[in-house]
Copies of this chain bind each other. A is one copy, B any other.
Amino acid sequence: MTEILPTGATIGILGGGQLGRMLSVAASRLGFKTCIFEPGADCPASHVAHTHIQAPYDDANALRQFAEAVDVITYEFENIPTSALDILDALKPVRPGRDALRVSQDRVVEKAFLSEMGLMTAPFAAVDDAVDLAEAMTEIGAPGILKTRRFGYDGKGQARIMTPEDAHQALEDMKGAPAIYEGFIDFSHEVSIIGARGLTGEVACFDPGENVHRDGILRTTTLPARLSPAQRSDAVLLSAQILNKLDYVGVMGMELFVTPQGLIINEIAPRVHNSGHWTQQGCAVDQFEQHIRAVVGWPLGDGTRYADVVMENLIGNDMDRLGEIAREPRASLHLYGKADVKEGRKMGHVNRITSKG
Residue numbers of A with Cβ under 8 A of B are 7-8, 21, 24-25, 28-33, 46-50, 281, 284-285, 293, 298-299, 301-302, 304, 306-307, 322-323, 326-339, 348, 351-353, 355, 357
Contact B24 A48 (CB under 8 A): yes
Contacts of A281 in B (CB 8 A): 284
Given known contacts A30-B333, A332-B285, A333-B29, is B299 in contact with A326 (CB within 8 Å)? Answer: yes
Q: A29's contact among B30, B329, B335, by CB below 8 Å, is which?
A: B335
A355 to B305, alpha carbons, bound, how many Å? 12
- Please indicate the chain B residues that have their CB under 8 angstroms from the CB of A329 in the complex: 284, 302, 304
* Complex: chain B residue closest to A7, CB-CB: B335
Among A33, A327, A339, A357, residue most surrounded by chain B Cβ atoms (within 10 Å): A357
Shortest distance between the CB of A3 and any CB in chain B (Å): 14
B327 A32 Cβ-Cβ under 8 A: no
Which of B30, B306, B331, B334 is the one whose CB lies under 8 Å from A335? B30
Are A337 and B28 also in contact (CB < 8 A) when A302-B328, A331-B302, A357-B355 are?
Answer: yes
Beta-carbon contact of B353 and A306 below 8 Å:
yes
A59 to B47, CA, bound (A): 25
Chain B residues with Cβ under 8 A from A334's Cβ?
29
Find out whether the CB atom of A332 lies under 8 angstroms from the CB atom of B284.
Answer: yes
A306 contact set on B, CB distance < 8 A:
307, 330, 353, 355, 357
Partner of A298 from B24, B28, B30, B326 at Cβ < 8 Å: B326
Q: A281-B284, A307-B307, A330-B284 are in contact. Are A47 and B29 (CB under 8 A)?
A: no
A331 vs chain B, min Cβ distance (A) = 6
Q: Which residues of B contact A353 (CB under 8 A)?
A: 284, 306
Among A7, A25, A49, A307, the one with the most B-chain Cβ atoms within 10 Å of its Cβ is A7
Q: Which residue of B lies closest to A337 (CB)?
A: B31
Complex: A116 Cα to B88 Cα, angstroms: 66
Across-interface contacts of A284 in B (CB, < 8 A): 281, 329-332, 351-353
Contacting residue for A28 out of B47, B293, B327, B355, CB 8 A: B47
Q: Tell me how far the C-beta of A180 lies from the nearest C-beta in chain B, rounded to whole angstroms.
A: 37
Instruction: Quote the shortest CB–CB distance from A244 to chain B (angstroms).
Output: 21
For the complex of A and B, list the 6 residue pairs with the smallest distance between their C-beta atoms, beginning with the closest: A31-B335, A284-B332, A302-B329, A31-B337, A48-B48, A28-B48
- A200 → chain B closest CB, angstroms: 12
Which residues does chain B contribute within 8 Å of A352, judged by CB atoms? 284
CA distance A341 to B328 in the complex (A): 41
- A316 → B minimal CB distance (Å): 14
